[in-house]
Amino acid sequence: MFIVHVFVHVKAEQVEAFKAATIENARNSVQEPGIARFDVIQQQDDPTRFVLVEVYRTAEDPAQHKETAHYARWRDAVAEMIAEPRTSLKYNNVFPGEDGWDSA
């Protein structure tokens, strides 16, 4: 598994619109064969901050995700809602193993 955490700071007046657009993108994203999970999480003490937790089956799948029409709609829709450029960190899955069980 290949995991990406995307950090997004949204303008305060755009939080609800951002949530709606991002949930729609997530609903479509989980239908992609290369996406195992797509979480949209909102920070409790600062509701303008979000993390998108994208779990891909392979390291190549994020590029395929960015080629979809729903990603392009989301990217364009939220462009003016974002307070600062989004950032991301990439991770490799350690546990559970590929089969869902601890392989140790």
DSSP string, 4-73: EEEEEEB-GGGHHHHHHHHHHHHHHHTTSTTEEEEEEEE-SS-TTEEEEEEEESSTTHHHHHTTSHHHHH
In the chain the domains, ranked by start, together with CATH numbers, are 2-91 (3.30.70.100)
pTM for this prediction: 0.89
CB 83 within 8 A of CB 9: yes
Q: What is the pLDDT of residues 20-54, one digit of tens each?
A: 999 999 999 999 999 999 999 999 999 999 999 99
* pLDDT for res 94: 87
